[in-house]
């Protein structure tokens, strides 16, 4: 991991005080890296095919469905983060997704970002395994 990332240090209070859209901002990237890594691990595809496969996981409607699938396996703290992420006012109107799907996708990304900022990497692994292995 990059030294700069290793040096990032936020205490739990600081992270909890962040706008959930900040969590979603970083969570989107972390989520995408997991998805892309998973897809390339399955082997032998063109970059176009890799992209088409990744869309199945990263589009808002898919993330909304994924959240519904894993929701009961989340802790109460994680469910609270999901609620905060979903209820945050956004200033973006999705063009290819319903507002409900977009808000739920943002909530999933917020959860991943929240866990990432707290360096709860093992829990991110567990959640991403639920998502990716459940998709087989």
Q: Domain-by-domain residue ranges, the chain?
A: 12-134
- For residue 136, the model assigns a pLDDT of 47
10 confidence band (pLDDT: 50, 70, 90)? confident
Please state which of the four CATH numbers 1.10.8.870, 1.10.510.10, 3.30.300.160, 1.10.1520.10 is assigned to the domain occupying 12-134.
Answer: 1.10.1520.10
Q: Which of 28, 65, 122, 125 is catalytic?
A: 28
> Of 6, 112, 132, which is closest to residue 57 (Cα–Cα)?
132
Q: Determine contact, residues 123/16, Cβ cutoff 8 Å.
A: no
Tell me which of 42 and 86 has the higher pLDDT. 86
Name the CA radius of gyration of the chain, rounded.
15
Mean of per-residue pLDDT scores for the chain: 90
Annotated catalytic, 122? no
Query: What pTM was computed for the model?
Result: 0.90
Q: String of b and e for 97-107 (b: at least 16 CB within 10 Å)?
A: beeebbbbbbb
What pLDDT digit, counting tens, does each position of 99-119 carry?
999 999 999 999 999 999 999
> Of 128, 102, 105, which is closest to residue 115 (Cα–Cα)?
128
């Amino acid at each position: 991991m990059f030294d700069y990332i290793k040096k990032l240090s936020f205490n739990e209070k600081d992270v909890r005080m962040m706008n959930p859209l900040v969590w979603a901002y970083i969570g989107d990237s972390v989520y995408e890296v997991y998805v892309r890594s998973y897809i390339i691990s399955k082997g032998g595809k063109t970059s176009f095919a890799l992209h088409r496969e990744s869309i199945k996981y990263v589009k808002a409607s898919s993330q909304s469905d994924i959240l519904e699938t894993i929701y009961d396996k989340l802790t109460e703290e994680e469910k609270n983060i999901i609620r905060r992420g979903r209820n945050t006012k956004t200033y973006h109107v999705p063009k290819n997704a319903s507002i409900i799907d977009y808000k739920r996708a943002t909530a999933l990304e917020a959860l991943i970002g929240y866990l990432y900022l707290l360096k709860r990497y093992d829990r991110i692994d567990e959640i991403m395994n639920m998502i990716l292995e459940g998709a087989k």
